[in-house]
Amino acid sequence: MERRTIGAGALAVGAVGLGCMPMSWAYSTSRQRGEESLRAVHRALDLGSTLLDTADMYGPFTNELLLGRVLKERRSEAFVSTKVGLLVGDQHIVANGRPGYVRRACDASLRRLQTDVIDLYQLHRADPEVPVEETWGAMAELVQAGKVRALGLCAVGARSARRPGARLHDATVRQLERVQQVFPVSAVEAELSVWSPEALETLLPWCESRGVGFLAAMPLGNGFLSGTLTPGGGFEADDLRARHPRFTAEMMAANQPLVVGLRRVARRHGEHVTPAQVALAWVLSRGRQVIPVPGAKRERWVSENAAAVDLRLTEHDLEELARLPAAQGSWD
């Protein structure tokens, strides 16, 4: 697989990563099967999708434990990204950026992942009660101690923190400017897809100008852009999409033109090309520092996602995708 680099340290990873969250968190529990997920991770490494993206809160903790079973055998083939800063309670999630907690959480992640070093340690959310510089300073100490290779900031929660009238990632950029004064940012993880392109406004240009890697979260729009979800099909109660405004039957039907457009482009490239692959190829075309991290828990989807690296969209394709209607429905 094509390789791309993260940050000034030029950490090399496969151009398409693997988001491991669906294996243990946020999506239908009844469809989560540990052995099937293990096979999916092994398949990703076989195909060169070396970036494995997880977090201590996924499960919580069970996602890191699952990855640890693979890393015990294949650590040298993987690039491990995990996150710190969120605690999961009963029906609530809270931020914790206290330096002492960060140090303890890192040691716990290392144990669960069965590794001596984390390749990319990301701040999942800033703690409003702790200056972000203090949290980042504690994370920098972990690099100096040899427990972490590089630091990143996760901006997936930017929507909930946006001020009225502000662009989506204005607050994230301000936060990045602050932590950059403490220790270099190697990567930013934020949502980017055909139906959620806001990162193109300010966040991606910020990364480009500073040589910072960009991990594109939810590049398939939580599965919608794959064209495999049926409007009105419903979701299990524990599936985050069951409560999501853009996944009501009405909004899924209203946004079908996006899937139709992806499918139309896919057909031009061959009968076996899928809308999901076109959506990933669009993300890959946003720049050499962009690495889409689609979530998957089955070998089939891992293989399909990895194959998107070989799909080269033409200028005509990109122009057609740019003309697709904006997604309808709130995303907040």
For the domain that residue 129 is a member of, what is the CATH number? Answer: 3.20.20.100
Q: pLDDT exceeding 90 applies to what percent of the chain?
A: 83
pLDDT of residue 164: 64
Give the residue carrying structure tokens 């946004």. Answer: 255
Tell me if residue 58 is catalytic.
yes
Q: Is the pTM of this model over 0.85?
A: yes
Residue 120: phi, psi to the nearest 5?
-135, 120
Structural Rg of the chain based on CA atoms = 19
Q: Residue 188's beta-bridge partner residues?
A: 153, 214
pLDDT of residue 263: 98
Is 177 inside any structural domain? yes
> In this model, does residue 309 exceed pLDDT 60?
yes
Tell me: the pLDDT tens digits for 184-238?
999 999 999 999 999 999 999 999 999 999 999 999 999 999 999 988 888 887 7
Distance from C-alpha of 254 to C-alpha of 153, rounded to nearest angstrom: 33
- Catalytic pick among 27, 58, 101, 121: 58
Is 261 inside any structural domain? no
pLDDT of residue 27: 66
Is 281 inside any structural domain? no
Band (284; pLDDT cuts 50, 70, 90)? very high
Its domain, for residue 161, covers 3-221+290-300
Distance from C-alpha of 306 to C-alpha of 269, rounded to nearest angstrom: 16
> In this model, does residue 60 exceed pLDDT 80?
yes
Sign (positive or negative) of CA dihedral 109, 114, 115, 116: positive
Is 265 inside any structural domain? no
Q: Per mean pLDDT, which range of 147-151, 158-162, 246-250, 258-262 is the poorest?
A: 158-162
pLDDT of residue 53: 98
pLDDT of residue 231: 85
Report the mean per-residue pLDDT for the chain: 93
Maximum CA extent, the chain: 54
> In this model, does residue 52 exceed pLDDT 80?
yes
Distance from C-alpha of 239 to C-alpha of 242, rounded to nearest angstrom: 6
pLDDT of residue 163: 65
Is 144 inside any structural domain? yes
Q: Enter the DSSP assignment of 51.
A: E
pLDDT of residue 9: 79
pLDDT of residue 330: 72
> In this model, does residue 32 exceed pLDDT 90?
no
Tell me: the pLDDT tens digits for 122-176?
999 999 999 999 999 999 999 999 999 999 999 976 666 666 667 889 999 999 9
Band (30; pLDDT cuts 50, 70, 90)? low
Is 277 inside any structural domain? no
Total number of domains in the chain: 1
pLDDT of residue 331: 63
> In this model, does residue 178 exceed pLDDT 90?
yes
Tell me: the pLDDT tens digits for 105-121?
999 999 999 999 999 99
Is 264 inside any structural domain? no
Query: What region does 10 belong to: left with phi over 0, alpha with psi -120 to 50, or beta?
Result: left
Is 158 inside any structural domain? yes
Q: Enter the DSSP assignment of 10.
A: T
Give the residue carrying structure tokens 């122009």. Answer: 319
> In this model, does residue 28 exceed pLDDT 70?
no
Secondary structure class of 24 (helix, strand, coil): coil
